[in-house]
Amino acid sequence: MYEEIRATAAAMVETPKGILAADESSPTLTKRFDAHSIVSTEESRRDWREMLFRTPSLSSYVSGVILYDETFKQSTASGVRIPDFLNSLGIIPGIKVDTGAKPLSGRPGELVTEGLDGLGARLERYHAEGARFAKWRAVISIADDKPSAMCVSANAHALARYAKLCQETGIVPIVEPEVLMEGDHSIDRCFAVTSTVLAAVFAELRIFDIDFRGMVLKPSMVTPGTLADPSSVQEVAEASVQCYLDQVPASVAGIALLSGGQPDQVATDHLAAMNKIGLLPWPITFSFGRALQDGPLAAWGGRPENTASAQAALVERARANSAAVV
């Protein structure tokens, strides 16, 4: 029953490729556009994303693209549905299906990701329209009194319910528990929190009888907080790999990391250092958003005449990340 999703999951993380996370919600993409004085409309968002996907040789480095619902339903300027267009390039279309992180009642300042209501029917529609994987992001903050057991448990439970619905629909779930970098915490504290979160997530995934070969884990890296003294690239790589080795079953199809706001080259360096450690039970690759798109967005600036330089900037990042995983 799971043969198809196992094959898809393996293709998503197949060396030397990774995933392009282009699934920012419209408000989030508008904020990114605002920083470059780009007007955000349905059309300009489509133009930006179509320009990225048309980048020559993108499919040499990118196995799949995560889309936001708006883009999933759009067509290229010449009238080809975006999921069909990606398929024609040999790139697997994926879809973000959570509806965002919302305040967790009883725990001010903490969040729980919503979107389970009606999810089964939505997944069936997305599958019929070409989606072969999905994404759900849980967000965990670190502070003296965070995360609470309630926050970790609520998010882990939602991730498992989502993953089950995906697998029953023939869709590979990307399970994304993100521990945010904001704060003054040490790398050791991030290690402890990430370990607790991953342990809780995999405990729930086991209860829901998730097929690990048919899923991809998208964790954050183990780093010190943004307000703490930085660690070396090697320290981050070793702490991250140790944490994943402790918590992630060997049968998981692969780990595709988020970049979480790290400068693009730093994220790439971390990825390369993790892969140099070697002898890992799963591929570790990238599923970056900002670390792939920040450079291209600055180069594009909303102007069609900058297409070539924006695409060159994307290829540069995609190629560097691909080289990091071999």
Q: Which residues are catalytic?
A: 176, 218
Strands 101-103 and 111-113: antiparallel
Angle at 48 between CA 95 and CA 320, to 5 degrees: 80
Closer CB to ligand 13P, 254 or 260, in the complex: 260
Q: Which is nearer to ligand 13P, 50 or 176 (CB)?
A: 176
Of residues 166, 291, 324, 325, which one binds ligand 13P by CB under 6 A? 291
Please report whether residue 300 would count as binding ligand 13P according to CB under 6 A. no
Residue 275 within binding range of ligand 13P, rule CB under 6 A: no
> To the nearest whole angstrom, how small is the minimum distance from the Cβ of residue 121 to ligand 13P?
23
Other CB atoms closer than 10 Å to residue 151's CB: what's the count? 22
Q: Interface with ligand 13P includes 18 (CB under 6 A)?
A: no
Binding string, 116-155, against ligand 13P, x = CB under 6 A?
Answer: ---------------------x------------------
Contact 136, 115 (CB under 8 A): yes
What gap in Å lies between CA 151 and CA 146, rounded to an integer?
Answer: 9
**Are residues 51 and 305 in contact, defined by beta-carbon separation less than 8 angstroms?**
no
CB of 32 to ligand 13P, least distance (A): 10
**Three-point CA angle 194, 197, 202, nearest 5°:** 120
Least separation in angstroms between CB 141 and ligand 13P: 15
Count residues near ligand 13P (CB under 6 A): 10
Part of the chain binding ligand 13P (CB under 6 A), chosen from 123-131, 150-158, 268-276, 287-295: 287-295
Judged by CB under 6 A, the residue of 17, 164, 185, 290 near ligand 13P is 290
Q: Give the shortest CB-137-to-ligand 13P separation in angstroms.
A: 4
Kindly state the smallest distance separating residue 259's Cβ from ligand 13P, in Å.
Answer: 3
* Residue 158 backbone zone (phi > 0: left; psi -120 to 50: alpha; other: beta): alpha
Residue 289 found at the interface with ligand 13P (CB under 6 A): yes
The tokens of 174 are what?
């990307």
Q: Does 321 bind ligand 13P (CB under 6 A)?
A: no
How many CB atoms lie under 10 A from the CB of residue 130? 19
Exactly one of 94, 260, 283, 295 binds ligand 13P (CB under 6 A); that residue is 260
Q: Is 303 exposed, middle or buried (0-12, 13-18, 19+ CB in 10 A)?
A: exposed
Handedness of CA 302, 260, 178, 167 (dihedral sign): positive
Residue number of the CB closest to ligand 13P reads 289
**SS3 of residue 246 by DSSP:** helix
Which spans of this chain sit near ligand 13P (rule: CB under 6 A)? 21, 137, 176, 258-260, 288-291
